[in-house]
Structure 1
Amino acid sequence: MTLVTPDGAFGGPVRVAVNQSRELINRGHDVTVVAGTEGYITALPTEVDGVPVKLFPVRRILPRAGFAGFFSAKFILWLVRNISSFDVVHVHLARDLVTSPGALVALIFGKRMFVQSHGMIDGSDKILASVLDWLIIRRVLRRARVVFSLTDREELDVNLVEPRARVVQLPNGVPVLSEMELKRTSSVSTSIEVLMLARMHSIKRPLVFVRMAAMLLDRFPNARFTLVGPDGGQGASISNLISEIGVEGAIAWEGAVAPEESLARMRLSSVFVLPSESEVMPMSALEAMSVGLPVVLCRPCGIADEVALAGAGLIADQTTNSLVENVSSLLSDPVLRYRMGQNGRKLVDTHFSIGRVVDLLESYYESGTFGNDFS
């Protein structure tokens, strides 16, 4: 895994890895998540949300390369010394200087390796991507037992980079909570909260969320609109826009919440909105549905059709007006909110539960590790 931080800056891939690992541990497997890290002030944690982790501080060796520019020599050295003790290596692969060389170590040691790319391996004309593809990525994709993709589009993207990759689809999965776990604190307040929980990056369009909220305030004076997530470059712009509009009491950016606290934070809300430019299979939306929140998503989104068909939420286009219309429909109708929230829980249970995902994962591990090679 590329990066584990206290504020969840790397987003969905970490939640996927932790959910998979925790479920595998519950089934009796020994699992360790190995990753780069930054941001911890005190001692590095030895577990995250109940999952054993081995974390290594990263340093940026490529400026202006985002997460791709991080590197950790200690991460690589630890893998060289310890990788022989693992039966299966599952790489949450990105074009970066942490997971890419880590995957190469697994190949050098002849490990049975599975790759999951989370939409991060696609056609790219960036220099770093081209170099890594030529040196490492194509070889890793070609020699992996299986490359897990989320959607048909991602499968095409992976095969564009390496046509010989053996790609199968594996959805993201989240825990299915019991009714007791979902019980919300009782309140006599008539206010409702519209929540955006994501990294505050331009691709997530948090400024569009703020503008949408401002357009809805007059019609829904009891509603609160809250952004939660680490600053991905848009933090100052969010604060400035809220101040310019003059609605600090009704629209707020709370900053980051620890990833393991995200479900609890969602349970305090009424509607979940993710106005991103594009999403493959957003973990935050799956988590929101798992706790009974109706969702409003924007196309293109890899789960938009499933959400619409299940009646678990509403799908907007990229315009602010479309978001306003869809969120307004939910704020106006508490019965609709409840029904879509319940439909979302059913959708997660039947299609995106972590139990179902790990059933598939175990079958591939066992076939790829202890049986014949995949053809």
Structure 2
Amino acid sequence: MRVAIVTGQFPALSQTFVLNQITGLIDRGCDVTILADPPARAEKVHPDVERYGLMTRTVYWTRHGRPAKEQALDGVRAFLRTKKRRLLPGMIKGVGAARRHDETLSASLMVKAAHLSRLEPFDVVLCHFGNLGRECQILREMGALRGKLAVFFHGYDMSVFPIERGPGVYRELFKGAELLLPISEHWQERLIELGAPPEKIAVHRMGIDTTRFEFKVRRPEADGEVRLLTIGRLVEKKGIAYGLEAFARVRERFPDARYHIAGDGPLSDELKARAQALGLGDSVQFLGWKHQDEIIALLLDHHILLTPSVTAKNGDKEGLPVVLMEGLATGMPVLSTRHSGIPELVRHGESGLIAEERDVEGLAQNLEVLLEDPDLWETLGQQGRAIVEAEFSIEKLNDHLKERLEALAAS
């Protein structure tokens, strides 16, 4: 089965969920081609990129460094040079659709069409993120992209994008795509609100390789030290400012607690200044960006995972953070918020404790519960691991995904 996997920038260390699907489908005998943008800057690369030779499977269908108009003209010329002039009526129709939906799409679509016209048809086009799925649907109308279309919906594409572009932004995609794959029940409900046909929707979660995550019963250190950990980009929706505030409220009662934050992003300086203003001193450390093996080591070296996610002012929301699956798989008790699909994984009193978004007092109270009762950690950790193994195992999910795609290709 020939499968095109469409994503944003590739390789991207922050999107291990896409990488896990790519390697999983290759392991299951699929002929996978990756359609993506080149990374904006050099960064660390996951070892599986080299191990599976993924760069030889990658088609970069855009190019940096040249004006969009020049790229578009090159795209038109290259598209016509393929001698597939029979596709021209579809191409004109597709560009017209692009202009109706978003005037800025037409230039990049010409470039992408030029690259796609050199490729053989696919059985299935599996697209990550609804905004890219929208482009893929237009490229299918143009005749440049051929194959049944399945689209994953994650976070930004379900929150900010419809706000910015209007609630009808996916109207044509909902008509054309054969399969819509929200990663949570929360996003399934949102898709229906936006007008998606329920019969085209199937929740398909992202997952992790549970065998890579050792289960470890957590106990405070012999000297009483307890280490909290947050992992993620330093952006508003991660809610790290609220995590700092909650930690500050309990620090006097629990002076042996430490809070470590792994990640980087535009709010780095602001968050460091906030920690200083709260008088947290060296009890808070910012560790910078870490690659996957370093993240696993950090999870095993810490006691409690704190993910105080919030809806950003522009409406941006999480999907279902993979780091939560990873933390639970290692047996960590989790403190989080009632945000997006998080309660579908972090179940209050079962695999972790949940507070409302931006509820500093609620976060602090939940943190106190865990700091006062370390015996609770093992119970939460065992139940969290069981949930991840049952519902978020990438092996099980990739088996199911291949079955879905085969059924779609055959339909």
What TM-score does the superposition give when structure 1 sets the normalisation length?
0.80
Long gaps (5+) in structure 2 = 1-6, 69-104, 312-317
Look up the match of 1:3. Answer: 9
1:116 to 145, 152, 157: 152
Superposition map of 1:105-144 within 5 A:
105-106=139-140, 108=143, 109-122=145-158, 129-130=165-166, 133=169, 137-144=170-177
Alignment equivalent of 1:216, drawn from 250, 253, 267:
250
One-letter code aligned to 2:281: E
Residue of structure 2 in register with 1:36 after alignment: 37
Instruction: Tell me the residue number matched to 1:27.
Output: 28
Aligned counterpart, 1:81: 118
- Answer whether contact 2:209 2:394 (CA < 8 A) is retained: yes
- CA offset digits 1:212-254 (Å, max 9, x no partner): 12222222222210111221x3212101112223323111222
Partner of 1:355: 395
**Counterpart of 1:173?**
207
Structure 1, residues 258-299: CA drift from partner, whole Å, max 9, x if none?
Answer: 246433322221111111115442222112111211111111
Match of 1:257 in 2: 290
| Fraction of identical pairs, as percent | 22
| Count of residue correspondences | 352
321, 324, 338: which one aligns with 1:299? 338
Deviation at 1:167, TM superposition (A): 0.9
- Contact 1:115 1:147 (C-alpha < 8 Å) held by counterparts: yes
Deviation at 1:342, TM superposition (A): 1.4
C-alpha distance after superposition, 1:41-100 (max 9, x if no partner):
3899896385524374657999xxxxx9x9698666433423x254321100243xx664
- 2:320 matched residue in structure 1: 281
- Map of 1:324 onto structure 2: 364
Q: Is the 8 A contact 2:231 2:323 kept in 1?
A: yes
Q: How far apart are the structure 2 equivalents of 1:172 and 1:92? A: 11
* AA matched with 1:257: K
Matched, 1:238 2:278: no
Contact conserved, 2:217 with 2:378, CA < 8 A, in 1? no
Q: 1:198 to 1:366 in 2, by over 3 A?
A: same
Larger radius of gyration: 2
Cα RMSD for the two superposed structures: 3.6
Relative to structure 1, is the Cα distance of residues 353 and 129 closer, same or farther in structure 2, using a 3 angstrom cutoff? same
Tell me, in whole angstroms, the C-alpha distance in 1 between the residues paired with 2:292 and 2:159.
Answer: 30
Check whether the contact 1:192–1:223 (CA below 8 A) recurs between aligned residues: yes
In the alignment, is the contact (CA less than 8 A) between 1:330 and 1:337 conserved in 2?
yes
- Residues 171-223 of structure 1 show CA distances to partners (whole Å, capped at 9, x for unaligned) of 221111267x4569998664221111122111221111111122222222222
State how far apart, in whole Å, the 1-side matches of 2:338 and 2:38 are: 32
Counterpart contact for 1:80–1:105, Cα < 8 Å: no
Alpha carbons 1:229, 1:255 under 8 Å: kept: yes
Report the TM-score, using the length of structure 2 for normalisation. Answer: 0.74
Matched, 1:149 2:150: no
**Secondary structure in 2 aligned to 1:308?**
coil
Cα pair distance change 1:42/1:93, threshold 3 Å: closer
Hey, what's the Cα distance between the residues in 2 that align with 1:101 and 1:49?
A: 29
Match of 1:228 among 253, 262, 265: 262
- 1:169/1:213 CA distance change after superposition, 3 Å: same
Paired residues of 2:218 and 2:303 also in contact (CA < 8 A): no
C-alpha distance in 1, partners of 2:44/2:116?
21
Choose the corresponding residue for 1:311, options 302, 326, 350.
350
2:19 is aligned to: 18
AA in 1 matched with 2:308: P
